[in-house]
Amino acid sequence: MMQTESATATVVNRPTVRRLYSDAERARRDATKWTVVQGILAPLQFAVFLISLALVLRYLWTGLGYDAATASIVVKTAILLVIMVTGAIWEKVVFGQYLFAPAFFWEDVFSFAVIALHLLYVFALLTDALQPAGLMYLALAAYAAYVVNAAQFVWKLRMARLDAEGRT
């Protein structure tokens, strides 16, 4: 007895991948000045981070340059707050809500942890809650969280580029 195979094709159900931006969101993203603002502030913040990281590590290794390290951390914190506020405005323009748009939900959640660590540093600095070395280690913790958060955003930028090319 001969077996015959069915000519019926098997349909493979693939999970639907949500694009990072709808066509309307992409148009709003490309049209708003806040995209340019974010594009300027993000690398500026990264440059300040690198300089500050070097100053903090210098202080921890040599005991020299506490004032410069402290000033750089305060500047980094100020830029972080500016980029968070302008990023929230960007999200409002692009997605219709100030924060926690589905496309950037986890990035926003982690951004609040980064901000909390930076502001904890400022609080500890202003209240003398920590000795100088403790302040620098707290800054390093804030910076480690910042690196993770920056990586999240770089990943999303990559996903947006792949999405635009139709490869997601």
Count of other CB atoms within 10 angstroms of residue 106: 13
pTM for this predicted structure: 0.82
What's the sign of the alpha-carbon dihedral 44, 50, 54, 59? positive
Q: For the chain, what are the domain ranges?
A: 23-163
Nearest alpha carbon to residue 79 among 118, 109, 24, 22? 118
Task: Give the mean pLDDT of 115-141.
Answer: 98
C-alpha span between 77 and 87 (Å, rounded): 15
Nearest alpha carbon to residue 45 among 167, 159, 150, 125? 150
Instruction: Read off the pLDDT band of 12 (50, 70, 90).
Output: low
pLDDT tens track for 27-80 = 999 999 999 999 999 999 999 999 999 999 999 999 999 999 999 999 999 999
pLDDT tens track for 54-63 = 999 999 999 9
Alpha helices in 63-131 (DSSP H): 66-95, 105-127
